[in-house]
Amino acid sequence: MFGLVFSRRFSMAHRLTAGLSEKCALPHGHNETVTVRLTATQPQRLDGAANMVEPFERAKARWHGWIDDAVDHAFQVNAADPLLGWFRQHEPTRAARLLVTPGDPTTEMLACLMMTKISAFLAADGGVLRCASIRIEETPTNSVTFDGDPAAFLPEGLPADAWWHRADASINDLGAAA
Ligand SMILES: Nc1nc2c(c(=O)[nH]1)N=C([C@H](O)[C@H](O)COP(=O)(O)OP(=O)(O)OP(=O)(O)O)CN2
């Protein structure tokens, strides 16, 4: 089967506060690369004319738009991080630039949330493609890969309408909770 593979770079900052990585408890940043592998939901032969699964431009437009406009330079924070309250009180406009995760914003969590998000985009685009796997390179020496169903690996009890399920530009649900 064909796989359409797209990579996009983004800058981010985060901090991990749950206690497993004390060195990462202060805000710090990475230049990361996310790579997705898309496959056809109904694989077919090449037609002998256009010979495409789907034009690259169409397949990646919404996804790369979200990475560039919403994820790039966002600050990734645990939903329980007190910094969230600080931003909401002192810099509410900038709170929109916080990518909020259930628990620490690790690369594993980001892989699951991003795979759910791109799946929502692909479904909204007609469901011609699905995301078969995702790889996030956090640093030049550390990457996380994921394939399968993110729902089976995300923590239980998360809202079914959270930002990662929606085919929109959201990276948090702060507006909904305000
Ligand atoms: N399982 C995970 N472990 C860690 C994560 C993660 O997302 N998942 N993240 C971090 C930190 O973000 C840290 O900044 C990066 O890890 P680190 O190993 O320190 O990265 P380096 O590139 O500096 O590693 P070198 O071995 O020095 O190349 C920590 N753990």
pTM of the model: 0.95
Ligand 1 pocket mutation, candidates 109, 138, 145, criterion most atoms within 8 A of CB: 138
pLDDT in tens, 3-42: 999 999 999 999 999 988 889 999 999 999 999 999 999 9
Closest ligand 1 atom to residue 14 Cα is 12
Q: What is the structure's pLDDT at 54? A: 96
Residue 141 Cβ inside 6 Å of ligand 1? The answer reads yes
ipTM of predicted complex: 0.92
C-alpha distance across the termini of the chain, in Å: 46
| Residue 36: closest CA among 53, 58, 11, 60 | 60
Residue 178 has pLDDT above 50, yes or no: no
Q: Where are the alpha helices (DSSP H) in the chain?
A: 56-66, 82-90, 92-95, 107-124, 174-177
| Residue 101: closest CA among 76, 131, 75, 134 | 76
State which residues form the domain around 86: 4-177
Number of structural domains (the chain) is 1
pLDDT in tens, 62-80: 999 999 999 999 999 999 9
Q: What is the structure's pLDDT at 102? A: 98
Across the chain, mean pLDDT equals 96
Q: What is the structure's pLDDT at 84? A: 95
CATH number at residue 47: 3.30.479.10
HEC string of 116-148? HHHHHHHHHCCCCEEEEEEEEEEECCEEEEEEC
Closest C-alpha to ligand 1, atom 23: 139
Query: Which residues, 6 or more positions from 17, have their beta carbon under 8 angstroms from its beta carbon?
Result: 25, 78, 80, 81, 104
